[in-house]
Amino acid sequence: MQAYANSSNTPALCANACSALGYSYSGTEYADECWCGTSVPSTTATAAASDCHQACSGDKKQICGAGNRLSVVFNNNAPVFGAPLEMLGYNWWAEGCFSDSTSSRTLPHIVSLSDYGGASNLTLENGLRACSAKGYIWCGFEYGQEVYGVSEYEYFNLNTSRNLATTEDGEAAMVAAGCNYKCTGNSNQACGGSNRMMVYGNDG
Distances (CA, A) of 8 to 35, 56, 58, 131, 170: 14, 8, 4, 33, 15
Residue 159 has pLDDT above 90, yes or no: no
Q: Which domain holds residue 8?
A: 2-75
Tens digits of residue pLDDT in 16-26? 788 778 787 78
| Most confident segment among 25-34, 47-56, 76-85, 162-171 | 25-34
75, 103, 119 - which closes a domain: 75
36 phi, psi to nearest 5 deg: -125, 155
DSSP state of 38: S
Work out the mean pLDDT of the chain and round it to a whole number.
82
75, 99, 125 - which closes a domain: 75
Q: What band does 86 get if pLDDT is binned at 50, 70 and 90?
A: very low
| Most confident segment among 76-80, 102-106, 117-121 | 117-121
Indicate if 110 and 172 belong to the same structural domain.
yes
Any domain includes 81: no
Residue 172 has pLDDT above 60, yes or no: yes
Indicate if 151 and 172 belong to the same structural domain.
yes
Q: Give the distance from CA 51 to its chain's centroid.
A: 24
Mean pLDDT of 72-87: 53
Q: Give me the pLDDT at residue 85, please.
A: 42
75, 98, 124 - which closes a domain: 75
Residue 47 has pLDDT above 50, yes or no: yes
Indicate if 120 and 94 belong to the same structural domain.
yes
Any domain includes 80: no
Q: Please state whether the predicted TM-score (pTM) of the whole model is above 0.85.
A: no
Indicate if 69 and 94 belong to the same structural domain.
no
- Say how far apart CA 193 and CA 172 lie, in whole Å: 14
Residue 80 has pLDDT above 80, yes or no: no
